[in-house]
């Protein structure tokens, strides 16, 4: 997966997490799962950049 694609996926996931947090508690499974997904994408991007 290229760097540009990762950035796009990070941005999409960030928007998804924000939308979920508007309709769910921050500690809900949906928000936490989205946050973990975002963390993993960011970690992948950071590892790609090294």
> DSSP character for 27?
T
pLDDT, one tens digit per residue, over 1-50 is 789 999 999 999 999 999 999 999 999 999 999 999 999 999 999 998 66
Query: What per-residue confidence (pLDDT) applies to 25?
Result: 97
Output the six-digit token pair for 49: 């950049």
Query: What per-residue confidence (pLDDT) applies to 49?
Result: 62
Question: Is there a contact between 35 and 16 (Cβ–Cβ < 8 Å)?
Answer: no
Contacts of 34 (CB under 8 A, 6+ apart): 13, 16, 17, 20
What is the number of alpha carbons within 13 Å of residue 43 lying toward its C-beta? 6
Query: What per-residue confidence (pLDDT) applies to 48?
Result: 87
């Amino acid at each position: 997966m290229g760097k540009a694609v990762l950035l796009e996926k990070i941005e999409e996931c960030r928007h998804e997490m924000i939308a979920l947090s508007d309709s769910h508690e921050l500690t809900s499974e949906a928000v936490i799962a989205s946050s973990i997904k975002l963390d993993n994408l960011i970690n992948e991007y950071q590892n790609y950049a090294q």
